[in-house]
Amino acid sequence: MNGRESVLSAIRGALSGVPGSERPGDVPLASVQRADHAGPDVVGLFAERAAEYRATVVRVPATDAAAAVGRALARTGARSLVVPYGLPEDLVPRGPWSLLTDVPSLTVGQLDAADAVVTTVATAIAVTGTVTLDHGPGQGRRILTLLPDQHICVVRADQIAPDVPEALGLLDPYRPLTLISGPSATSDIELDRVEGVHGPRTLDIVVVEDA
């Protein structure tokens, strides 16, 4: 018997007490009422919660978005900016940094040497202060937001979902997905939280609101 058959038959043996009338689809969960954890000010809550996890959050009108990205770069002194395929032109800031476009694909070495990356997001989550990338146009391949040490996310206010279930409902499970809540961190030393390990150590979030 191969592993597959032996595991499956062991499972079936272990579950012989489950009545045949019980179907796998009968999960009685529809009645669960979910409380609203976000409150009325979804955008404000998102900004507050993201900042609590040490992301730098600014709220700007659409006309100021590129400039806000530029200010984030200036703050860290970034010299090079990775620009994913499909990023809207009006989000690319002018300034003393070189622009590295991912067409053709940047190498691992180029990305490791780059200082910063700017992306849009697929959605965001207010209650947890999370941004979610599905790595489609404007968000870049996964590696783009991993190797540069500063990640600047541009989030449209209308992309912010109140809570985890609403956000997951907006995502396409067949795309690679990354949920990001603050810069990389660890609690591995005495369960004390320290920001900045392998992923980007600086996370900037630019929330774009219509005037």
Residue 190 contacts other proteins per CB under 8 A: yes
**Cβ–Cβ under 8 Å, residues 94 and 70:** yes
**What backbone phi and psi angles, to 5 degrees, belong to 70?**
-60, -40
Using the contact rule CB under 8 A, the part of the chain among 11-19, 61-69, 75-83, 93-101 near other proteins is 11-19
Buried b (16+ CB within 10 A) or exposed e, 178-188: bbbbbbbbeee
Beta-carbon count within 10 A of 3 CB:
7
Compute how many residues bind other proteins; rule: CB under 8 A: 74
Pairing type for strands 185-186 and 194-195 reads: antiparallel
- Which residues touch 25 (CB under 8 Å, ≥6 apart)? none
Among 41, 48, 90, 112, binds other proteins (CB under 8 A): 112
- Interactions with other proteins, residue window 138-157 (CB under 8 A): 141-143, 146
Residue 34 contacts other proteins per CB under 8 A: yes
Give the span between the Cα atoms of 193 and 49, in whole angstroms. 16
Residue 104 contacts other proteins per CB under 8 A: no
Residue 170 contacts other proteins per CB under 8 A: no
Among 40, 94, 191, 211, binds other proteins (CB under 8 A): 191
CB of 136 to other proteins, least distance (A): 10
Which residues pair with residue 154 across a beta bridge?
A: 120, 206
Residue 92 contacts other proteins per CB under 8 A: no
Residue 21 contacts other proteins per CB under 8 A: no
Using the contact rule CB under 8 A, the part of the chain among 66-74, 116-124, 152-160, 178-186 near other proteins is 178-186
